[in-house]
Structure 1
């Protein structure tokens, strides 16, 4: 499969859809696919008509089943650090930092790098057939694409350690109970529900969503006092936007708001 086919990009109204398209390999991530994914994200970021992004996997077996284990087995530490690890960390950080809201449609296995990608996305809908986990410990490895750090910041520490230390897989229902995903959806309805959710978000002010995402992301890395001061400054910026006053006036007028990203 060539690089152009590894990730499919489409726009459905205000929603961009990225589909990791290597079903023969359970959508496993290798360097060409990661670079293609990065370029696809950039394409949707540059498209002003795209207000939200859905990320999913091709087929009905896997979202992303991890990395190429044979490739990992052939690597030495310094080469891995300078090549694959450098790229996957950069690409995952791009997804985490994008100003456009992201919705995961987890259509099957999300193991290793699949769960690590999931951890960078804003809202996560998961198929009732999906399985999640960080099985790297079973290979004598540990999650090295951000998973060991993002997971401990998103679920209770003791549960994060259990998942990483045992390498156990969990069901979609368990992932929701842990707070790792938002909700379970029937497999045949997953993409449509993800699109519907993304379309709802896309109706909001794109400028205010951008500022909100930055406020939340940056605040996570601050002590509470600094984060509250940061929030105070950002909401001040929001009140200088046209969209904030349009939203308030629309509420008073009992009409839909006309958000323009201004």
Structure 2
């Protein structure tokens, strides 16, 4: 009777631990801890009858821990042009930075995310814009050849328009959704497709980025990118759709 009581209590304790004390198990294909940092730089200089210079720089970081998966991104674009008889005019000046923090749930690949970004673009009619969002994200799969993840959730956007911008788009609630697909070749080449949208009552902003990179040697790679930005409501004399094609060198620091 005594030993039977002990066995019963042990079984009950194991059952309680199974139901209420499940240990966290990270994704099997995660290398933890892991930190990667890539730097991107593209420069174009023209001299002669037409003088022009274009600079695009970006930093991309990925930090993986047992409980968190974090993504950091910052980008700078600057372009000016002119002729020997005229002053050089700035035709593009943009800074963008974003960060996303994914908290890993017990089920592999399932997370809760927090996202924030800030944009300062001289030629959109806004002094600056910023967004905050939170919700659910999932890495649907990740293997040797490819990876796919998405996130969706509510948020809030903060808008500061320039004085001459007659189109008043106020701060407001948004729904943010994003998806990212990557494909890896054994040679080291990589294809990346990224889509995001922020939908609000007065404006919807969408972005598509397609890039293909190939190793040159060591940690240095060549990257070709094509970017689409679209807005449903824009300031006067600002196109709803803008495109950007660039070729840059990418160096992996870590």
Give me the TM-score of the superposition, normalised by structure 2.
0.28
Of structures 1 and 2, the one scoring higher in RCO (CA 8 A, sep 6+) is 1
Question: Larger Rg: 1 or 2?
Answer: 2
Which structure has the highest helix share of the two? 1
Which structure has the highest strand share of the two? 2
